[in-house]
Structure 1
Amino acid sequence: MNFKRFGRPAVIAIAAGLALSSCAANEGAAPASDEASASTLTGTLNGAGASSMDAAQQAWIAGFQTANPAVTINYEPSGSGGGREAFIAGGTDFAGSDSYMSADELAGTFKSCAPDSKAVDLPVYISPIAVIFNVDGLTDLNIDADTLAKIFSGAITSWDDAAIAKLNPDATLPATAIAAVHRSDDSGTTKNFTDYLGKAASDVWTEKASDTFPFPGEGAKGTSGVVDAVTNGVGTIGYADASQAGKLSTAKLMVGTDFVAYTPEAAAEVVAGSPLVPDRAADDLALDLNRKTTNPAEYPLVLVSYAIVCNEYADPAKGELVKAYIEYIASAAGQTVAEGAAGVAPLTSELETKVAAVLATVK
């Protein structure tokens, strides 16, 4: 597996995209109120990363800029891997990522951070990952982890395969070839998807969780690219942040002995019952998601998007702005904005409190 690394041209490309996203966000912001005009915050923040959370980011940006009219925030949905790389290289002030930083990333240096300072993962966005499909004559689909793993590894290639038929005895399955669509870019959604398959279908899916999809097939860039490929293809199936599934049909996953449809509430239940990843800094809130739950009130194919920020910024003014923005998006008010814009689950009060405690130390 080849991991694409960010070089200088990629950071420049993200910067160009950020300038365009700034115009769009400013156009969508409401006029500043008298209270907003009293804000003393000023400056520009650049962020990049997970495309899954782009709708929420644009809503957060509009809300924050309305309250703080002298602040400009740009977010480029370049993918989780791209966002982390740009942040590490100093090309952005924060990153959004559907997967937390690896041990190797944490062991390195962060050019936006003060000397000897590191970065931390702060959960700010919870959403189910939908298994989306477009098969003529098929609107409902039950699937278990083993069968899903065989489809995306290429072991099952036709929609009328016996394994699919067994799970869907009342369906009329066509003898159509399966076109499994995956993310072509480094993607935290892919890492969550492959993590789920590796844990829930360990006898079938032997690859490690990875931002890069480990098998050949049809690839598409970004969440929107996967949704477009599934929508416009024949016999297609893919995975995407549920907030962007649109009118596509979505599968029910087997959890225990039941088939469970995704809901924000069921995604939040899994997160609430998941511990922190062990052996990390006390202020790093990376979560070890429970993929093997048998509780039908939980939907295990879930992603948590993190805001990745410095403990201490090389530029204190940037630190003040980042702190204020992430405090807003992780607050009850910010989570309500994301829920309205993307239909995602808000942070639990316990997790909200933990994030706020870490942000209080950021400078």
Structure 2
Amino acid sequence: MISTSLRRAAVPGIAALALALSACGAANEQATADGEGGGLSGTLNGGGASSQEAAQNAWRAGFQQDNPNVTVNYDPTGSGGGREGFVSGGFAFAGSDSYLNDDDGELTAATERCTTPPIEIPDYVSPIAVIFNVDGVDELNLTPETIAGIFNNEITRWDDPAIAETNPDADLPDAAISAVHRSDESGTTGNFTHYLSVVAPDAWPHGEVEEWPLKAGEAANQTSGVVTAVGNGRNSIGYADASQAGDLGRAKVQVGDDFVGPTAEAAAKILEVSPRVKDRDPHSMVFDLDYETDEAGVYPIVLTSYLMACGTYEDAETAELVKGYLTYILSDEGQATAQENAGSAPLAPALAEEAQGYVDEITAG
């Protein structure tokens, strides 16, 4: 029996998650010893996008509270590591900021591992913030071309005319820009560079890449590393999941005639104006994001993160654990937990219902 009760109690905050997870672990040990607790039991191993880490910690805590005989592990190896672990069978499920593709045989390999095309469902929608730490600057408006020029090492000083033009009231310093990028293979990098390649192809000629293509700038490992590097640096700029940006400045990005900030609500709107990727299996709910939209109130640099799972697993325990955990994530409670603890936008009800239909089909073969 899968427990997906919608508790009315307040969702625990980030500060309480470590205690909640520890308590769940202790409860799990006691429940196992006593033979009591929820209907599910066992250990479920997953991993992938570090952008999902805060949300995954919240989901693990909530799910294990409902199912004290279960331990869920999530290793934030990055999106590339998550997809590799899923394809190899090391992870029963994975989180990734980029969907599986066959440019390097990923989708074919995942289909072979699962024996049928894998399930890919959106679970986490969050803006990728252009974060900054600049002397004397609290607000920053940037055009797509300016962002591309900064990260392509063509705009190298904060008082450059391209930055000054959209920030006439800012006291921009006469200082070098320290641009921070991910050092690891990253779905966040993939989404960020995809955006730049679409909206500013002349200023960003490198295309969509998950591994940073330039030697210029400062490299930092995983989302937390970029945030730390920008925070500890001086006159620094980087890109990271907005939910993990802390107190750093977050640039507003030009969309049409307006500059839009990276709120969860503004990010979620892009799915409403974006089509699905063509020629995919129906179990693959992946989007071709409309980065060039002029729709009011849409923040375009978005991380739409996916969960990947098999429709069929070799053993019933794994099938039930994956099915139960993904059901919790898609539930109203799970989405509210992620919003509270990770700042993500809840999935639209119709999307969550469609995704749940595919999760309901998970079985053991």
Distance 1:251 1:28 in 2: 39
Give the letter for the 2:302 counterpart: V
Partner in structure 2 of residue 17 of structure 1:
none
Partner in structure 2 of residue 206 of structure 1:
205
Secondary structure of residue in 2 paired with 1:99: coil
Partner in structure 1 of residue 244 of structure 2:
244
Distance 1:62 1:331 in 2: 14
Distance 2:266 2:21 in 1: 34
Partner in structure 2 of residue 6 of structure 1:
none
Residue 227 (structure 1) shift: 0.3
Whether 1:133 aligns to 2:132 is yes
Residue 98 (structure 1) shift: 0.9
Residue 78 (structure 1) shift: 1.0
Secondary structure of residue in 1 paired with 2:56: helix
Deviation track 1:210-237 (CA, whole Å, cap 9, x = no partner) reads 2112222211001000000000111110
Distance 1:153 1:299 in 2: 22
Residue 203 (structure 1) shift: 2.6
Give the letter for the 1:241 counterpart: D
Identity of aligned residues (%): 50
Whether 1:26 aligns to 2:21 is yes
Secondary structure of residue in 1 paired with 2:312: coil
Residue 139 (structure 1) shift: 1.1
Partner in structure 1 of residue 108 of structure 2:
107
Secondary structure of residue in 1 paired with 2:357: helix
Partner in structure 2 of residue 264 of structure 1:
264
Residue 316 (structure 1) shift: 2.7
Partner in structure 2 of residue 3 of structure 1:
none
Whether 1:233 aligns to 2:233 is yes
Residue 112 (structure 1) shift: 5.6
Give the letter for the 1:174 counterpart: P
Partner in structure 1 of residue 196 of structure 2:
197
Residue 314 (structure 1) shift: 2.2
Secondary structure of residue in 1 paired with 2:147: helix
TM-score (norm 2): 0.88
Residue 206 (structure 1) shift: 2.0
Give the letter for the 1:273 counterpart: V
Gaps in structure 2 of 5+ consecutive residues: 1-16
Partner in structure 2 of residue 8 of structure 1:
none
Give the letter for the 1:26 counterpart: L
Distance verdict in 2 for CA 1:175–1:28, change over 3 Å: farther
Whether 1:76 aligns to 2:71 is no
Give the letter for the 1:91 counterpart: G
Deviation track 1:15-56 (CA, whole Å, cap 9, x = no partner) reads xxxxxxx99873054969x9xx55211110011111111011
The residue correspondences of 1:117-196 to structure 2 (distance < 5 A) are 117-196=116-195
Partner in structure 2 of residue 16 of structure 1:
none
Distance 2:24 2:255 in 1: 41
Partner in structure 2 of residue 302 of structure 1:
302
Partner in structure 1 of residue 338 of structure 2:
338
CA contact (8 A) 1:272 1:348 kept: no
Partner in structure 2 of residue 14 of structure 1:
none
CA contact (8 A) 1:87 1:110 kept: no
Distance 1:130 1:272 in 2: 20
TM-score (norm 1): 0.89
Aligned residue pairs: how many?
337
Deviation track 1:277-331 (CA, whole Å, cap 9, x = no partner) reads 1111111001111111112311011111111101211223211110110011011
Partner in structure 2 of residue 320 of structure 1:
320
Secondary structure of residue in 1 paired with 2:313: coil
CA contact (8 A) 2:117 2:281 kept: no
Distance 2:350 2:205 in 1: 34
Whether 1:56 aligns to 2:55 is yes
CA contact (8 A) 1:90 1:110 kept: no
Deviation track 1:243-264 (CA, whole Å, cap 9, x = no partner) reads 0110101100000011111111
Secondary structure of residue in 2 paired with 1:44: strand
Gaps in structure 1 of 5+ consecutive residues: 1-21
Distance 2:199 2:110 in 1: 34
**Which runs of 4 or more aligned residues in structure 1 lie more than 2 Å from their structure 2 counterparts after TM superposition?**
22-26, 28-32, 109-113
Whether 1:284 aligns to 2:292 is no
Distance 2:177 2:18 in 1: 40
